[in-house]
Structure 1
């Protein structure tokens, strides 16, 4: 897998969005071969292949008697508008739902954790090192079904369109369609949640849903530190261990270099010496596709004062743009001490927010004071 570059100069800006995974990843249970041809004639959300994922349940501390976990390959809409296979994970509780109405589904869009296909979230979760696993467990405890996308090009052939919120939004919506073929009711309310790159994917999905997936009964969304304007992401000054992986991502290193993998596993000798690559230059990346169109459901957006990766000001600016289109934004600023810490705090906020939506709580938009 090679990340589809935004621009060669974007290397420095992408560095902080990669979270280190320290363990190897178990073999994948679904074969990728031949699925591209099958996806070409399949409608978005169609399940192409599926396999049990007991390792995911074990890593999350969920008993097999309490839920089923299924890895899926499903069809989605790719970066050029073509049909493409995308992998993901669906977890459906077996225990009775005790909330109002039908058991809801949460579509989790994960944050970035590596460049190699082995770093795809549905694979990485079995190592116990998937950051998003913490809030996935919270959603399961609350009784929700969960559908998580790996995104185009992560776990499947082809390039990963990093932070392209249109493509990632398609992927997030289509994993919901796939989950509805795996035991989730087609009339159950759907929520969308994501952190960092996943926050951008969630926003993209909410914007696209009325036209791309109008049949989905989406009830609300929650995004923590959503990526949208990469030009606002703080430039990392000075050398760091991420640089060789980022050089691989934008094509400076050959695809066959053994630097591929979940960092720092698989770094070739010499590439762990960041001085070999010189100082990080100030970058001006191309902005990712985003429309900032109206979002039709309650959408909670949170950012941290101390976020060193996705600045508070960039998240507030995105929220203002959604407000200007008539969206109902519930914005909050957290005291989390870092980017990653904001994700853990945001996962708990999402569980509470979705519960309030299900109970019919009325939300006051924060758009007035954002302006």
Structure 2
């Protein structure tokens, strides 16, 4: 029996009723419901080396020249493995894919672009998705990124969910992003050692970008980053969780995937699996190695009440602390680099008030912040509508122009 079952047993003895009665009231906990991790990547390149702990954050662990990617003609592709840090300060091996245009000159601009990765399986990593040929897993921003490659920029695409694919662990994504920038600048053949650097991303990729910007002053103070563009960022996971708590939603699968991912990163503090009923465990197992389409299909129209044997975890302060620790609105650090932020004013997927509040806090702290509302009424089209302004803003940062501010 799980620890929770033991607690229920003690309560039962105190009240003079059987454990079975109480478990019937609170919901039976499936036996052996432990966190479920992704199937390890079959490519040994992704594995952590035995001497990982001897390396510093951002150290290059391995470099591999990759085949051309049809979606990005006129570029060479390099996969870089590097040492990063998980949410507990422990070393991990992470990867980033660098697209280098054939027109590249030494120390030309470098953009770290954090792609949306709505997945729990290793095959959902950008470094794999580039080669799938599956239109449902394509890099949808390829047209915009190709325009930047034509300008001579190099583009790094980090696998920012980490080796456990801890979807939802946003702070982790920020650290991997920063260490990826450190690493690619240290690969001699990429000739990016003195390149000016910017970052960008939307939605989950925007979350990794935003955390990287906020963490840079303390996590990577030696990095000089000219600016970060972030769009559609889920700034407050706690607000999102509470909004989806009992309400069936077509995108509930993403919320459940975030819970699974956070449990992977914080198994002791957020033991989601202990609180699932049989249907919940089945859904979790079906999602465990899935990418966005599988995750959305499994969770569509469901809510926590469909999958929870008990909702008592909602009263656990340690569980909420995990969610808070990955909510940028609640993080007291602020960027020192200029920020461009865009979003839909009526986004139904993310709490817009959390974005507005974070923007105000950054302005009050002296951040050079330019915020833009898109005419889109929803989440995904706002990404596309904000791209031209994002590119223009990034280009101005590389030219050294003073960053605009709405503050």
**TM-score interval (norm. to shorter):** 0.7 to 0.9
The aligned residue for residue 201 of structure 2 is: 194
Are residues 1:46 and 2:54 paired? no
Q: Distance in 2 between matches of 1:61 and 1:364?
A: 31
Deviation at 1:173, TM superposition (A): 0.8
Match runs of 1:342-361 below 5 Å: 342-361=382-401
Counterpart Cα distance in 1 of 2:332 and 2:147: 29
The answer to whether the 8 A contact 2:250-2:296 is kept is no
Alignment of 1:167-246 (within 5 A): 167-182=172-187, 183-233=190-240, 235-236=243-244, 237-238=247-248, 240=250, 243=253, 246=257
TM-score if structure 2 supplies the norm length? 0.70
Q: Deviations over 1:305-349 (max 9, x none)?
A: 232212332211111111121111111111123211122233332
Distance in 2 (CA, whole Å) between partners of 1:173 and 1:147 is: 11
How far is the alpha carbon of 1:95 from its aligned partner?
A: 0.4
Listed as ranges, the gaps of 5+ residues in structure 1 are 1-26
> What is the CA–CA distance in structure 2 between the aligned matches of 1:362 and 1:276, rounded to whole Å?
47
The structure number with the bigger radius of gyration is 2
Aligned length in residues: 326
Q: Tell me the SS of whatever aligns to 1:365.
A: coil
The residue number in structure 1 matching 2:368 is: 328
SS in 1 for 2:45: coil
* Consecutive aligned runs of 4 or more in structure 1 exceeding 6 Å deviation: 280-284
For the pair 1:104 / 2:112, whether they are aligned, the reply is no
**Match for residue 164 of structure 1 among 164, 170, 176:** 170
Q: Deviations over 1:175-223 (max 9, x none)?
A: 1112113314221110011111222221221222233223322111110
Q: Is the 8 A contact 2:121 2:165 kept in 1?
A: no
| SS state at 1:126 partner | coil
Distance in structure 2 (CA, Å) of the matches to 1:213 and 1:261: 32
C-alpha displacement of 1:103: 1.1
d(CA) in 2 for partners of 1:273 and 1:297?
Answer: 39
Counterpart-to-counterpart distance in 2, 1:255 and 1:49? 36
In the TM superposition, what is the alpha-carbon distance from 1:230 to its structure 2 partner? 1.5
CA distance in 1, matches of 2:98, 2:332: 29
Larger displacement relative to structure 2 (323-332 or 226-235)? 226-235
Show structure 2 runs of 5+ residues with no match: 1-40, 262-271, 315-319
More helix by percentage: 2
The SS at the match of 1:75 is strand
Q: 1:272 to 1:331 in 2, by over 3 A?
A: closer
Query: Does 1:257 pair with 2:285?
Result: yes
Structure-2 residue corresponding to 1:22: none
Alpha carbons 2:79, 2:96 under 8 Å: kept = yes
Residue pair 1:79, 1:161 contacting (<8 A) in 2 also: no
1:364 has 2:400 as partner: no
